[in-house]
Amino acid sequence: MSETPQIDTPVERAPDVGELTPPDRTLMGPGPSDVHPRVLRAMSTPLVGHLDPSFVEIMDEVQELLRYAFRTDNRWTIPVSGTGSASMEAAIGNLVEPGETMLVPTNGYFGGRMKSMAERAGGEVAEVDAPWGEPLDPVDVERAFDEHQPDVFGFVHAETSTGVLQPNVPELTDIAHAHDALVIADTVTSLGGVELRVDEWDVDVAYSGPQKCLSCPPGASPLTLNDRAMDKVLDRKKEPRSWYLDLSLLEGYWGDDRSYHHTAPITNVYALREALRLVAEEGIEARWDRHRSIAGDLKEGLQNLGLEMNAPDEYWLPSLNAVRVPDGVDDGAVIEYLLDEYDLEIAAGLGDLAGDVWRIGCMGHSARPKNVEFLLAALEDALAEQGYDA
């Protein structure tokens, strides 16, 4: 039997914890990204109730702004309370009924998370294969459809674990619809950063997160469903396993009734509203262009240091740059050095790419020339420290 650890502090004594002074980091990892000062200001405005008439108006505005960012007319466009994974689980948990089959990709970390969520929803899972670092090939998707006849097809538009952007989205959605399946797109690292056209590309469901290309703190996560998808959700034979994320119940709050389901994270909704207002002011297409251009400078700078991008140019993902760790360089030591010496965050590779790449985000408010110059200079120094000669 293990002993219960003894706690030194008697419960009567109040913990002596100082004022919160987080370090002032530059966030160039896979998210969160730097938050715009206007978003931080919006978060310090007074709270109102989640059914206050003024908040109902804010909800309408957030929904309208989200439709703009997603390029959709979907009535069913809401922020889900929670992080991107909550929005992801709302999509999968409502769309996949027990016994149904979901087709998921194997080319990155988040396809694996789709699989886990589909299984927990009571679904069967079939896989369409591609190596980590490559996109799905429509030919393979077609073959997987013929073989498994899935009811739902999920793919990751912007794979944050590999820095790969999935091209040919309309081709993938055509294949799925020809087989009477619904499509769920993971757009967590694409919404507000790279070209994404939900309606034109006929994506049935897209989920996202606020702390990547929208440069907003995590907490309220975008989700959109077209009528075809929502009809399926409302016609389910069995209710979804999660009460909290049951979209047929959330309809009462975000739909016409505006009746209580749970207390919305008011402050996060304020933040999302301001972040989306910044998107609308910039213009969504101009914002996509900015990401391509600023991340293009980053890519060029990395290549000038003699580094190699993990993804070929055709599927390069501007918002997440996976760059190969040169031989003889310790990837973790570089990450630590950047954090200690420069207050600069980048990330290591995950899964099949662990130890092979660094992941450098260029998202939202972090996608600025100033950040790119800073990162390239700091990285050059960190590499020199490792004995690497650029």
Ligand X SMILES: *Cc1c(COP(=O)(O)O)cnc(C)c1O
Among 105, 133, 209, 219, binds ligand X (CB under 6 A): 209
189 binds ligand X (CB under 6 A): yes
**Gap between the Cα atoms of 323 and 319, Å rounded:** 13
User: Which pairing describes strands 164-165 and 158-159: parallel, antiparallel, or unpaired?
Assistant: antiparallel
Q: Are 215 and 34 in contact (CB under 8 A)?
A: yes
- Selected binder of ligand X within 27, 39, 62, 88 (CB under 6 A): 88
CB of 142 or CB of 204, closer to ligand X: 204
Q: Are 70 and 78 in contact (CB under 8 A)?
A: no
Q: Which of 93, 123, 218, 318 binds ligand X (CB under 6 A)?
A: 218
- Name the residue among 307, 29, 329, 25 with its Cα closest to residue 161: 29
Between CA 197 and CA 206, with CA 203 as vertex, the angle to 5 degrees is 85
Q: Structure tokens of 380?
A: 């050059």
Q: How far is CA 386 from CA 28, 307, 309, 325, in A?
A: 21, 14, 20, 12
| Residue labelled with tokens 């979907």 | 74
Scanning 84-92, 127-135, 194-202, 271-279 for contacts with ligand X by CB under 6 A, the matching segment is 84-92
Q: What are phi and psi of 230, to 5 degrees?
A: -70, -35
- The one segment of 2-10, 79-87, 303-311, 376-384 that binds ligand X by CB under 6 A: 79-87
**Residue whose CB is less far from ligand X, 110 or 254:** 110
Instruction: State which amino acid sits at residue 124.
Output: E
Determine the angle formed by the axes of helices 109-120 and 84-95, rounding to 10 degrees: 50
Residue 26: beta bridge partners? Answer: 344
Indicate the residue among 111 and 123 with the shorter CB distance to ligand X. Answer: 111
String of b and e for 50-60 (b: at least 16 CB within 10 Å)? Answer: beeeebeebbe
Does 110 sit near ligand X (CB under 6 A)? yes
Chosen residue from 26, 160, 162, 226 binding ligand X by CB under 6 A: 160
Q: How far is the CB of 31 from ligand X (least distance, A)?
A: 5
**Segment lying near ligand X (by CB under 6 A), choices 44-52, 185-193, 298-306, 373-381:** 185-193
Asked if 85 touches ligand X (CB under 6 A), the answer is yes
- Contact between 150 and ligand X per CB under 6 A: no
What are the φ and ψ backbone dihedral angles of 97, each rounded to 5 degrees? -95, 155
Taking CB under 6 A as the criterion, the residue among 26, 72, 77, 83 binding ligand X is: 83
Q: Which residue is nearest to ligand X (CB)?
A: 84
Q: Find the shortest distance in angstroms from Cβ 176 to ligand X.
A: 19
We find the least distance from the C-beta atom of residue 186 to ligand X, in angstroms, to be: 5
Distance of closest approach, residue 145 Cβ to ligand X, in angstroms: 23
**Does 163 participate in binding ligand X (rule CB under 6 A)?**
no
Helix or strand holding residue 79 (H, E): strand 76-82
Kindly determine how many residues on this chain lie close enough to bind ligand X according to the rule CB under 6 A.
13
Q: Which stretch binds ligand X (CB under 6 A): 8-16, 40-48, 183-191, 361-369?
A: 183-191
Distance (Å, whole) CA 349 – CA 325: 10
Helices 266-282 + 284-304 axis angle, to 10 = 80
Shortest Å, Cβ 217 to ligand X: 10
Contact between 193 and ligand X per CB under 6 A: no
Q: Which of residues 30-49 bind ligand X (CB under 6 A)?
A: 31
- Beta-bridge partner residues of 124: 101
Which range of residues in 78-86, 92-100, 191-199, 306-314 is near ligand X by CB under 6 A? 78-86
The whole-angstrom separation of Cα 355 and Cα 324 is 9
Minimal distance, residue 126 CB to ligand X, in Å = 20
Helices within 160-259 (DSSP H only): 169-178, 227-234, 247-254
Which of 163/378 has CB closer to ligand X?
Answer: 163
Q: Is 366 in the site for ligand X (CB under 6 A)?
A: no
* Cα–Cα distance for residue pair 170/180, rounded to 1 Å: 15
Binding site for ligand X (CB under 6 A): 31, 83-85, 88, 110, 156, 160, 186, 188-189, 209, 218
